[in-house]
Amino acid sequence: MSQHALYLDFEFCTGCHSCEIACRNELGLPPDGFGIKVLEDRPRMNPDGKWNWNYIAYPTELCNLCEQRTEKGLLPACVQTCQAKVLEYGTIEECAAKLADKGSKATIFVP
């Protein structure tokens, strides 16, 4: 059995926080609890004069990739509700291949 991971593409995250809410509801967390948290890299000017403003979905230590959902063949709650489709669930090998194609604007998470 292969181990699974979460692929996170930072380039197109809009900061909608739907992943946070879905995760919180799935895990039954309080309002200040997070299995995944959207961080904001506030507007700042790069040395080349272009503005940078990014959102970064970051799984926390509470993330278990919704093992109760994935055991039933469902997607993790954050992936299911991501409106921009920047979160993907797959094997470590599948996620690593996507990461190799994407570069620095993405990462993978393995709990």
Q: Looking at the domain 4-109, which fold is it?
A: Alpha-Beta Plaits (3.30.70)
What confidence score (pLDDT) does residue 101 get? 87
pTM of the model: 0.87
34-44 pLDDT, tens digit each? 999 999 988 88
4-63 pLDDT, tens digit each? 999 999 888 999 999 999 999 999 999 999 999 999 988 888 899 999 888 999 999 999
| CA separation for the pair 80, 83 (Å, rounded) | 9
| CA separation for the pair 102, 86 (Å, rounded) | 12
Residue ranges covered by each domain of the chain: 4-109
